[in-house]
């Protein structure tokens, strides 16, 4: 449940939800306690409709992190 127009994903949600999504798990976001919003739960996952481009900066693969740690620069 998120607040329409004032929502933010937590850093943990930003990092874990795409991993879950790639494993075939769905994430549904609803923004109100209405029948219209509850209907979203019976449709395809909609997390990406609420994804903000600024969240991408928090996504790093394990290989990128290891490359940074072993870099000699």
pLDDT confidence band for 64 (50 / 70 / 90): confident
Query: What is the mean pLDDT of the segment spanning 3-15?
Result: 92
Q: Is the pLDDT of residue 20 over 70?
A: yes
Is 5 a domain residue? Answer: no
Is 32 a domain residue? Answer: yes
Is 17 a domain residue? Answer: yes
pLDDT confidence band for 66 (50 / 70 / 90): confident
Is 49 a domain residue? Answer: yes
Residue-range definition of the domain harbouring residue 18: 11-70
Residues 6+ apart with CB under 8 A from 38: 30
pLDDT at 45: 98
Is 2 a domain residue? Answer: no
pLDDT at 60: 74
Is 19 a domain residue? Answer: yes
Is 63 a domain residue? Answer: yes
How many structural domains does the chain have? 1
């Amino acid at each position: 449940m998120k607040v329409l127009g004032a929502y933010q994903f937590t850093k943990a949600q930003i990092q874990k939800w795409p991993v879950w999504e790639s494993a075939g798990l769905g994430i549904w976001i609803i923004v109100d306690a209405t029948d219209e919003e509850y209907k979203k739960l019976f449709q395809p996952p909609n997390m990406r409709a609420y994804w903000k481009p600024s969240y991408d900066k928090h996504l790093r693969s394990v290989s990128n992190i290891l490359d940074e740690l072993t870099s000699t620069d």
